[in-house]
Structure 1
Amino acid sequence: MARKTQILVIGHNDNGCTPEHEKTAYDTGAAIARSGAVLISGGLGGVMRASCRGAREAGGLTVGIIPQDAHSEANEFCDVVLPSGMGLTRDFLNALAADGIIIIGGGSGTLSEVCAAYMYRRPMVAVRGTGGVADRYGGTFVDYRENIMIGQADSPDEAVRSILEAIT
Protein backbone atom coordinates (compact mmCIF):
# COMPACT_ATOMS: atom_id res chain seq x y z
CA MET A 1 0.00 0.00 0.00
CA ALA A 2 1.37 3.40 -0.99
CA ARG A 3 1.84 6.14 1.58
CA LYS A 4 -0.86 8.81 1.56
CA THR A 5 0.01 12.33 0.45
CA GLN A 6 0.39 14.69 3.41
CA ILE A 7 -0.62 18.35 3.03
CA LEU A 8 0.16 20.91 5.72
CA VAL A 9 -2.21 23.88 6.10
CA ILE A 10 -0.71 26.92 7.82
CA GLY A 11 -1.93 30.40 8.62
CA HIS A 12 -3.36 32.67 11.28
CA ASN A 13 -3.81 31.22 14.74
CA ASP A 14 -6.65 32.48 16.95
CA ASN A 15 -5.10 35.96 16.86
CA GLY A 16 -5.85 37.51 13.49
CA CYS A 17 -8.02 34.68 12.17
CA THR A 18 -11.16 36.22 10.68
CA PRO A 19 -14.38 34.44 9.71
CA GLU A 20 -13.15 34.64 6.09
CA HIS A 21 -9.90 32.87 7.03
CA GLU A 22 -11.89 30.23 8.89
CA LYS A 23 -14.14 29.61 5.86
CA THR A 24 -11.14 29.39 3.51
CA ALA A 25 -9.36 27.02 5.90
CA TYR A 26 -12.48 24.88 6.38
CA ASP A 27 -12.99 24.60 2.63
CA THR A 28 -9.29 23.80 2.14
CA GLY A 29 -9.46 21.02 4.71
CA ALA A 30 -12.55 19.58 3.06
CA ALA A 31 -10.87 19.68 -0.37
CA ILE A 32 -7.81 17.91 1.04
CA ALA A 33 -10.03 15.18 2.49
CA ARG A 34 -11.89 14.77 -0.81
CA SER A 35 -8.55 14.37 -2.60
CA GLY A 36 -7.65 11.44 -0.35
CA ALA A 37 -4.68 13.24 1.22
CA VAL A 38 -4.00 13.55 4.94
CA LEU A 39 -4.30 17.02 6.46
CA ILE A 40 -1.46 18.05 8.75
CA SER A 41 -1.64 21.17 10.89
CA GLY A 42 -0.07 22.75 13.94
CA GLY A 43 -3.07 21.34 15.79
CA LEU A 44 -4.14 24.48 17.61
CA GLY A 45 -6.71 27.22 16.82
CA GLY A 46 -7.57 29.57 13.98
CA VAL A 47 -6.72 28.27 10.50
CA MET A 48 -5.39 25.06 12.07
CA ARG A 49 -8.67 24.26 13.81
CA ALA A 50 -10.88 25.30 10.88
CA SER A 51 -8.91 23.22 8.35
CA CYS A 52 -9.02 20.17 10.65
CA ARG A 53 -12.76 20.62 11.10
CA GLY A 54 -13.29 20.81 7.34
CA ALA A 55 -11.21 17.71 6.70
CA ARG A 56 -12.83 15.74 9.50
CA GLU A 57 -16.37 16.67 8.42
CA ALA A 58 -15.50 15.63 4.84
CA GLY A 59 -14.35 12.22 6.06
CA GLY A 60 -10.60 12.87 6.01
CA LEU A 61 -7.79 12.13 8.41
CA THR A 62 -6.23 14.98 10.41
CA VAL A 63 -2.87 15.12 12.17
CA GLY A 64 -1.90 17.87 14.61
CA ILE A 65 1.76 18.41 15.47
CA ILE A 66 1.51 20.64 18.52
CA PRO A 67 4.25 22.62 20.27
CA GLN A 68 3.12 21.54 23.76
CA ASP A 69 3.80 18.25 25.51
CA ALA A 70 0.18 17.22 26.25
CA HIS A 71 -2.31 15.69 23.82
CA SER A 72 -5.09 17.71 25.46
CA GLU A 73 -3.69 20.97 24.03
CA ALA A 74 -4.70 20.03 20.46
CA ASN A 75 -7.96 21.16 18.90
CA GLU A 76 -10.86 18.74 19.03
CA PHE A 77 -10.73 17.99 15.28
CA CYS A 78 -7.27 16.36 15.33
CA ASP A 79 -7.55 12.60 14.81
CA VAL A 80 -3.87 12.02 15.50
CA VAL A 81 -2.01 14.30 17.92
CA LEU A 82 1.78 14.45 18.08
CA PRO A 83 2.79 16.51 21.11
CA SER A 84 6.31 17.65 20.29
CA GLY A 85 7.17 19.48 23.51
CA MET A 86 9.43 21.55 21.23
CA GLY A 87 7.70 24.91 21.27
CA LEU A 88 8.21 26.87 18.08
CA THR A 89 10.89 24.46 16.89
CA ARG A 90 8.01 22.17 15.92
CA ASP A 91 7.55 24.40 12.84
CA PHE A 92 10.35 22.39 11.22
CA LEU A 93 8.56 19.12 12.01
CA ASN A 94 5.40 20.48 10.40
CA ALA A 95 7.24 21.51 7.25
CA LEU A 96 9.20 18.27 6.96
CA ALA A 97 6.15 16.07 7.62
CA ALA A 98 4.42 17.61 4.61
CA ASP A 99 4.69 16.73 0.97
CA GLY A 100 3.28 20.20 0.24
CA ILE A 101 2.01 23.25 2.10
CA ILE A 102 -1.00 25.53 1.66
CA ILE A 103 -0.74 29.02 3.19
CA ILE A 104 -3.81 30.99 4.35
CA GLY A 105 -2.90 34.45 5.68
CA GLY A 106 -0.49 34.12 8.56
CA GLY A 107 1.95 36.00 10.74
CA SER A 108 5.43 35.30 12.05
CA GLY A 109 4.69 31.69 13.09
CA THR A 110 3.45 30.98 9.58
CA LEU A 111 6.53 32.66 8.14
CA SER A 112 8.71 30.38 10.27
CA GLU A 113 7.03 27.34 8.72
CA VAL A 114 7.32 28.86 5.24
CA CYS A 115 11.05 29.42 5.75
CA ALA A 116 11.58 25.85 6.96
CA ALA A 117 9.63 24.48 3.98
CA TYR A 118 11.54 26.80 1.63
CA MET A 119 14.93 25.62 2.86
CA TYR A 120 13.87 22.00 2.26
CA ARG A 121 12.25 22.83 -1.10
CA ARG A 122 8.75 21.72 -0.15
CA PRO A 123 6.13 22.88 -2.69
CA MET A 124 3.92 25.67 -1.35
CA VAL A 125 0.78 27.41 -2.56
CA ALA A 126 -0.64 30.59 -1.02
CA VAL A 127 -4.34 31.38 -1.16
CA ARG A 128 -4.55 34.87 -2.66
CA GLY A 129 -6.47 37.58 -0.85
CA THR A 130 -6.03 36.10 2.62
CA GLY A 131 -3.45 38.67 3.68
CA GLY A 132 -0.36 38.24 5.78
CA VAL A 133 2.34 35.83 4.70
CA ALA A 134 0.17 34.34 1.93
CA ASP A 135 -0.19 37.64 0.08
CA ARG A 136 3.34 38.84 0.87
CA TYR A 137 5.14 35.74 -0.43
CA GLY A 138 2.69 34.15 -2.87
CA GLY A 139 4.09 34.26 -6.39
CA THR A 140 7.64 34.92 -5.18
CA PHE A 141 10.74 33.32 -3.77
CA VAL A 142 11.55 33.88 -0.10
CA ASP A 143 15.09 35.00 -0.88
CA TYR A 144 17.93 35.20 -3.40
CA ARG A 145 18.48 31.43 -3.35
CA GLU A 146 15.31 30.91 -5.36
CA ASN A 147 14.90 27.44 -3.83
CA ILE A 148 11.25 27.12 -4.77
CA MET A 149 8.67 29.64 -5.90
CA ILE A 150 5.57 29.87 -3.75
CA GLY A 151 2.58 29.35 -6.01
CA GLN A 152 -0.74 31.16 -5.78
CA ALA A 153 -4.35 30.07 -5.96
CA ASP A 154 -7.64 31.94 -5.89
CA SER A 155 -9.67 29.30 -4.04
CA PRO A 156 -9.25 26.34 -1.70
CA ASP A 157 -10.04 23.86 -4.48
CA GLU A 158 -7.48 25.48 -6.77
CA ALA A 159 -4.90 25.48 -3.96
CA VAL A 160 -5.36 21.75 -3.37
CA ARG A 161 -5.22 20.96 -7.10
CA SER A 162 -2.08 23.10 -7.47
CA ILE A 163 -0.27 21.57 -4.52
CA LEU A 164 -1.11 18.04 -5.66
CA GLU A 165 0.25 18.85 -9.14
CA ALA A 166 3.42 20.32 -7.60
CA ILE A 167 3.95 17.24 -5.43
CA THR A 168 3.74 14.72 -8.27
Structure 2
Amino acid sequence: MPKKIQILIIGHNGNITPEVEKIAYETGVEVAKSGAVLITGGLDGVMNAACHGAKDAGGLTVGIIPQSEASFANQYCDIVIPSGMGLARDFLNALSGDGVIIIGGGSGTLSETCAAYMHKRPIVAIKNSGGIAEKYADQYLDHRKSIQIIGVSSPKEAVKTILEKINST
Protein backbone atom coordinates (compact mmCIF):
# COMPACT_ATOMS: atom_id res chain seq x y z
CA MET A 1 0.00 0.00 0.00
CA PRO A 2 1.44 3.41 -0.93
CA LYS A 3 2.10 6.01 1.74
CA LYS A 4 -0.82 8.34 2.40
CA ILE A 5 -0.33 12.02 1.69
CA GLN A 6 -0.02 14.07 4.89
CA ILE A 7 -1.31 17.65 4.89
CA LEU A 8 -0.39 19.97 7.74
CA ILE A 9 -2.87 22.71 8.62
CA ILE A 10 -1.47 25.54 10.71
CA GLY A 11 -3.01 28.70 12.12
CA HIS A 12 -4.28 30.59 15.16
CA ASN A 13 -4.35 28.80 18.52
CA GLY A 14 -6.98 29.73 21.10
CA ASN A 15 -9.99 31.89 20.29
CA ILE A 16 -10.76 32.36 16.60
CA THR A 17 -13.53 34.20 14.82
CA PRO A 18 -16.53 32.25 13.53
CA GLU A 19 -15.35 33.01 9.97
CA VAL A 20 -11.89 31.52 10.56
CA GLU A 21 -13.44 28.57 12.39
CA LYS A 22 -15.64 27.86 9.36
CA ILE A 23 -12.67 28.09 6.97
CA ALA A 24 -10.62 25.71 9.14
CA TYR A 25 -13.51 23.26 9.54
CA GLU A 26 -14.19 23.21 5.79
CA THR A 27 -10.49 22.77 5.03
CA GLY A 28 -10.43 19.75 7.36
CA VAL A 29 -13.44 18.33 5.52
CA GLU A 30 -11.69 18.78 2.17
CA VAL A 31 -8.50 17.10 3.44
CA ALA A 32 -10.53 14.10 4.63
CA LYS A 33 -12.47 13.91 1.35
CA SER A 34 -9.16 13.83 -0.54
CA GLY A 35 -8.05 10.74 1.40
CA ALA A 36 -5.05 12.52 2.89
CA VAL A 37 -4.10 12.41 6.58
CA LEU A 38 -4.64 15.68 8.43
CA ILE A 39 -1.80 16.78 10.70
CA THR A 40 -2.08 19.72 13.08
CA GLY A 41 -0.45 21.00 16.24
CA GLY A 42 -3.32 19.24 18.01
CA LEU A 43 -4.49 22.10 20.22
CA ASP A 44 -7.34 24.64 20.00
CA GLY A 45 -8.39 27.26 17.46
CA VAL A 46 -7.68 26.44 13.82
CA MET A 47 -6.24 23.07 14.81
CA ASN A 48 -9.40 22.04 16.66
CA ALA A 49 -11.74 23.24 13.90
CA ALA A 50 -9.74 21.53 11.13
CA CYS A 51 -9.59 18.25 13.06
CA HIS A 52 -13.33 18.51 13.77
CA GLY A 53 -14.08 18.92 10.06
CA ALA A 54 -11.84 16.03 9.08
CA LYS A 55 -13.37 13.76 11.72
CA ASP A 56 -16.92 14.66 10.63
CA ALA A 57 -15.93 13.73 7.05
CA GLY A 58 -14.45 10.38 8.13
CA GLY A 59 -10.80 11.38 7.92
CA LEU A 60 -7.75 10.49 10.00
CA THR A 61 -6.29 13.22 12.23
CA VAL A 62 -2.90 13.50 13.89
CA GLY A 63 -2.02 16.07 16.54
CA ILE A 64 1.63 16.78 17.35
CA ILE A 65 1.40 18.69 20.61
CA PRO A 66 4.12 20.65 22.42
CA GLN A 67 3.30 19.12 25.81
CA SER A 68 4.47 15.77 27.15
CA GLU A 69 0.98 14.46 27.95
CA ALA A 70 -1.63 13.47 25.37
CA SER A 71 -4.46 14.91 27.46
CA PHE A 72 -3.63 18.40 26.14
CA ALA A 73 -4.74 17.47 22.60
CA ASN A 74 -8.13 18.47 21.22
CA GLN A 75 -10.87 15.86 21.22
CA TYR A 76 -10.78 15.36 17.45
CA CYS A 77 -7.23 13.97 17.27
CA ASP A 78 -7.18 10.26 16.42
CA ILE A 79 -3.45 10.01 16.97
CA VAL A 80 -1.68 12.24 19.49
CA ILE A 81 2.08 12.66 19.50
CA PRO A 82 3.07 14.39 22.75
CA SER A 83 6.43 15.80 21.69
CA GLY A 84 7.42 17.37 25.02
CA MET A 85 9.40 19.81 22.86
CA GLY A 86 7.50 23.03 23.51
CA LEU A 87 7.87 25.50 20.67
CA ALA A 88 10.57 23.40 19.01
CA ARG A 89 7.78 21.08 17.91
CA ASP A 90 7.02 23.61 15.16
CA PHE A 91 9.84 22.04 13.14
CA LEU A 92 8.49 18.54 13.72
CA ASN A 93 5.06 19.69 12.53
CA ALA A 94 6.46 21.39 9.43
CA LEU A 95 8.44 18.33 8.40
CA SER A 96 5.55 15.93 9.05
CA GLY A 97 3.42 17.39 6.29
CA ASP A 98 4.03 16.71 2.61
CA GLY A 99 2.46 20.14 2.16
CA VAL A 100 1.17 22.94 4.39
CA ILE A 101 -2.03 24.98 4.43
CA ILE A 102 -1.98 28.23 6.44
CA ILE A 103 -5.21 29.60 7.93
CA GLY A 104 -4.74 32.92 9.75
CA GLY A 105 -1.98 32.57 12.31
CA GLY A 106 0.45 34.46 14.47
CA SER A 107 4.10 34.02 15.45
CA GLY A 108 3.84 30.25 16.05
CA THR A 109 2.31 29.83 12.61
CA LEU A 110 5.11 31.95 11.15
CA SER A 111 7.67 29.70 12.85
CA GLU A 112 6.10 26.61 11.26
CA THR A 113 5.85 28.39 7.92
CA CYS A 114 9.56 29.28 8.05
CA ALA A 115 10.52 25.69 8.87
CA ALA A 116 8.42 24.37 5.97
CA TYR A 117 9.86 27.05 3.66
CA MET A 118 13.46 26.20 4.57
CA HIS A 119 12.74 22.55 3.74
CA LYS A 120 10.94 23.50 0.52
CA ARG A 121 7.58 22.03 1.46
CA PRO A 122 4.73 23.29 -0.74
CA ILE A 123 2.75 25.96 1.12
CA VAL A 124 -0.71 27.37 0.44
CA ALA A 125 -2.29 30.28 2.34
CA ILE A 126 -6.02 30.98 2.51
CA LYS A 127 -6.11 34.72 1.87
CA ASN A 128 -9.37 35.68 3.55
CA SER A 129 -8.36 34.14 6.90
CA GLY A 130 -6.20 37.01 8.19
CA GLY A 131 -2.92 36.80 10.08
CA ILE A 132 0.16 35.19 8.59
CA ALA A 133 -1.87 33.61 5.77
CA GLU A 134 -3.06 37.02 4.60
CA LYS A 135 0.34 38.67 4.99
CA TYR A 136 2.40 36.07 3.11
CA ALA A 137 -0.04 34.83 0.45
CA ASP A 138 1.58 35.01 -3.00
CA GLN A 139 4.93 35.95 -1.41
CA TYR A 140 8.36 34.47 -0.78
CA LEU A 141 9.70 34.57 2.76
CA ASP A 142 13.14 35.79 1.78
CA HIS A 143 15.54 36.77 -0.99
CA ARG A 144 16.31 33.13 -1.87
CA LYS A 145 12.81 32.71 -3.30
CA SER A 146 12.93 28.99 -2.52
CA ILE A 147 9.20 28.46 -2.86
CA GLN A 148 6.32 30.83 -3.28
CA ILE A 149 3.50 30.67 -0.76
CA ILE A 150 0.47 30.27 -3.00
CA GLY A 151 -2.54 32.38 -2.07
CA VAL A 152 -5.97 30.83 -2.56
CA SER A 153 -9.52 31.94 -1.78
CA SER A 154 -11.25 28.84 -0.41
CA PRO A 155 -10.72 25.58 1.50
CA LYS A 156 -11.56 23.54 -1.60
CA GLU A 157 -9.01 25.49 -3.68
CA ALA A 158 -6.42 25.14 -0.88
CA VAL A 159 -6.62 21.35 -0.79
CA LYS A 160 -6.76 21.02 -4.59
CA THR A 161 -3.71 23.28 -4.98
CA ILE A 162 -1.63 21.65 -2.23
CA LEU A 163 -2.33 18.18 -3.65
CA GLU A 164 -1.26 19.36 -7.12
CA LYS A 165 1.96 20.78 -5.67
CA ILE A 166 2.68 17.65 -3.61
CA ASN A 167 2.06 15.37 -6.58
CA SER A 168 4.29 17.44 -8.89
CA THR A 169 7.36 17.25 -6.63
Place the TM-score, normalised by the shorter chain, in its bin. Answer: over 0.9
SS state at 1:9 partner: strand
Report whether the alignment pairs 1:81 with 2:86.
no
Identity of aligned residues (%): 63
> Structure 1: any 5+ residue segments left out of the alignment?
none
Per the normalisation by structure 2, the TM-score is: 0.98
Matched, 1:99 2:98: yes
Secondary structure of 1:158 counterpart: helix
Distance in 1 (alpha carbons) for counterparts of 2:77 and 2:5: 17
Task: Provide Cα deviations, 1:83-110, integer angstroms capped at 9, x if missing partner.
Answer: 0000000000000000000000000000
In the other structure, the counterpart of 2:60 is 61
Residue matched to 1:11: 11
Q: Which amino acid aligns with 2:124?
A: V
Displacement of 1:78 = 0.1
Large movers: runs of 4+ above 6 Å? none
Q: Give the superposition deviation at 1:152.
A: 1.1
In 1: Cα distance, 2:145 partner to 2:152 partner: 20
What is the match of residue 23 of structure 2?
24
Q: CA-atom RMSD, angstroms?
A: 0.5
Q: Does 2:39 match 1:40?
A: yes
Q: Size of the alignment, in residue pairs? A: 167
Residue 67 of structure 1: how far off its partner (Å) = 0.1
Instruction: Give the Å deviation of 1:34.
Output: 0.2
- The answer to whether residue 131 in structure 2 is matched with residue 132 in structure 1 is yes
2:129 and 2:112 map into 1 onto residues whose CA distance is: 17
Deviation at 1:25, TM superposition (A): 0.3
